Amino acid sequence: MTNLNTKKIPSWCPGCYNFQILAGVKKVIEAKIKAGQKKEDFMVVSGIGCHGKILDYINLNGIHTLHGRVLPTCLGMKVGNPNLTVLGFSGDGDAYAEGMEHLIHAARYNSDFKYFVHNNQVFALTVGQPTPTTEIGFKDKTTPLGVKFPPINPIKLMLASGATFVARVFADVGQIEFVLKEALKHKGFAFIEVLQPCIIFHKDEGYQDKVYSLDKVGHDKSNFEAAWKKAQEFDYNAVEKIPLGIFYQTQKPVLEEQFEQLVELKKKGIGWKNVKR
């Protein structure tokens, strides 16, 4: 894992689960590069927040974009050069609050890029305010009376929006490796939620003791109804058991294959200069 390192010293808290996500992503990309892909084939987009620093610590091209705007930036990259492997990284604030409208449309458009949401159930960089996936009753200085509204369920939201790859993993190197490898094999938009408990601003919910693998219970990821049922087992509020793995995977037309110009661009290589308009 040497050539993807940067000289930046991580400013994440010691023990932050973001380190696990970073390590898993680097391992997979490093292997792809060893197998012949070029470093220049990859692009990383990150939002604003603790998660967003991932681009500082991984030596690949990319954009540390505006808060909530990871998805349109990824889409722009794919439309500009469909040959790129684009990986987007958001926090739950970035993805489900300010960036929410993009999320629904990203699932609908099915552009061929991969999207990780580091869900720590708080706006961590701004010191722990509640996000749309924070549990009822959570208190902080901005919400002294406690959160009153039920959290959204992003897995259900993505299933309902037509996403073709919907997964949830825990922030563990091995799980990140597994899911990224699968997502890269998938043709289309891949939504990957990562449970990434914030060790400073959110109480420890003991998620690690409550998770189980969908694979091990014979979940059929091609079955939408089964995925919908599994998605309801954890509502980000009361925690009893948390299914992890790929909830749903299907094949639908990919955005880049639906425009003649993009198909041509993909064949010819990089840049609009190659396309007759």
Site for ligand TPP in 35-64 (CB under 6 A): 47-51
Q: How far is CA 219 from CA 216, 231, 242, in A?
A: 8, 12, 14
Binding ligand TPP (rule: CB under 6 A), the pick from 42, 123, 191, 236 is 123
Q: How far is CA 262 from CA 58, 74, 221, in A?
A: 28, 15, 30
Which of the ranges 86-94, 132-140, 203-211, 246-254 carries the binding residues for ligand TPP, by CB under 6 A?
A: 86-94
**Quick check: helix, strand or coil at residue 248?**
strand
Which distant-in-sequence residues (6+ apart) come within 8 Å of 57 by Cβ? Answer: 5, 6, 8, 10, 22
E runs forming strands in 75-184: 85-91, 114-119, 122-123, 129-130, 165-170
Q: How far is CA 233 from CA 53, 153, 179, in A?
A: 32, 10, 20
26 binds ligand TPP (CB under 6 A): no
Site for ligand TPP in 131-170 (CB under 6 A): 131
| Shortest reach from residue 56's CB to ligand TPP, in Å | 13
| Shortest reach from residue 88's CB to ligand TPP, in Å | 12
Which of the ranges 27-35, 77-85, 91-99, 148-156 carries the binding residues for ligand TPP, by CB under 6 A?
A: 91-99
| Shortest reach from residue 53's CB to ligand TPP, in Å | 8
Neighbour tally for 226: CB within 10 Å: 16
In this structure, is the dihedral angle defined by the CA atoms of residues 202, 214, 159 and 184, taken in order, positive or negative? positive
Site for ligand TPP in 212-251 (CB under 6 A): none
Q: Which is nearer to ligand TPP, 27 or 53 (CB)?
A: 53
| Shortest reach from residue 238's CB to ligand TPP, in Å | 21
Q: Which is nearer to ligand TPP, 169 or 255 (CB)?
A: 169
Residues that bind ligand TPP (CB under 6 A): 47-51, 66-67, 91-94, 98, 118, 120, 122-126, 131
